[in-house]
A = this chain, B = another copy of it.
Amino acid sequence: MSLRHVLLCQLSTAPKSGYDLTVALDRSIRQFWHASHQQVYRELAKMTELGWVDFEVEQQPKKPDLKRYYVTQAGLEALSAWAGSEIPALKIKNEMLIRLLAMPQVGAAPVVASFEQELARVNALLSELSSMHSTYFKSVPPNGNPTQLAMYLSLQYGIEYWSMTARWLQQTIGLLSGPSH
């Protein structure tokens, strides 16, 4: 899947270790693509097999050896081919919708309770994303800076996604708990 391409992107700016990649992922795009260190090491091993990346071992005094990975020509070509290929259809899989399905059996009350909890979580996330937006992007970054543009548009997506979710939750809680009381 796409984790492979996330790692290729990160590596193509500068060679990095699996540890570096894990930390960088967690610091920068955690909200938009999450991966554990186990996954990162597995993907690096697979991409090495595929010839997309290679590494040099650096011996460190009093520390474990460090494997510094870099992207090969084949890796760059794979990234290019992927970037223009058809985006695989994304299927909505949202547990909230399944809770709704359970209402005929379990009633609205527990569902509304879990939705209210979820709305609080979503609002917290939204304010986090909003503050990121206002600190990093006073204006739309120029087209000439693709890295900044990518971050700006991802943040934009996250804010719109969670705003939409919050609106839907509010409307739904209202419908489920309002009229019958």
Binding site for B on A (CB under 8 A): 2, 5-6, 8-9, 12-13, 29, 31-34, 76, 79-80, 82-106, 108-111, 113-115, 117-118, 121, 140, 142-144, 146-147, 149-150, 153-154, 156-158, 160-161, 164, 167-168, 171-172, 175-176, 179-180
Residues A87 and B96 in contact in the complex (CB < 8 Å), given A12-B105, A167-B160, A172-B153:
yes
**7 CB-based A-B contacts, threshold 8 Å:** A5-B98, A6-B101, A13-B104, A32-B94, A79-B105, A85-B114, A87-B96
Tell me the number of copies of this protein.
2
Determine whether the beta carbon of A86 is less than 8 Å from that of B114.
yes
CA of A6 to CA of B108, assembled, Å: 16
Query: Interface majority SS on A: helix, strand, loop or mixed?
Result: helix
Once the chains bind, are A79 and B102 in contact (CB under 8 Å)? yes
Residues of B within 8 A of A144 (CB): 180
Q: Nearest residue in B to A125 (C-beta to C-beta)? A: B89
- Contact between B157 and A33, CB atoms less than 8 A apart: no
Minimum distance in angstroms from A32 CB to a CB of chain B: 5
Instruction: Give the contacting residue for A175; candidates B76, B79, B140, B154; CB below 8 A.
Output: B140
Question: Are B106 and A83 within 8 A (Cβ)?
Answer: yes
Give Cα A35–Cα B114 distance, bound, in whole angstroms.
25
Q: Which residues of B contact A109 (CB under 8 A)?
A: 84
A108 close to B156 (CB less than 8 A): no
Contact A5 B114 (CB under 8 A): no
* Interface residue from B34, B99, B142 paired with A91 (Cβ < 8 Å): B34
Q: Looking at A29, A34, A109, A154, which has the most chain B CB atoms within 10 Å of its CB?
A: A154
In the complex, the answer to whether B89 meets A121 with C-beta atoms within 8 Å is yes
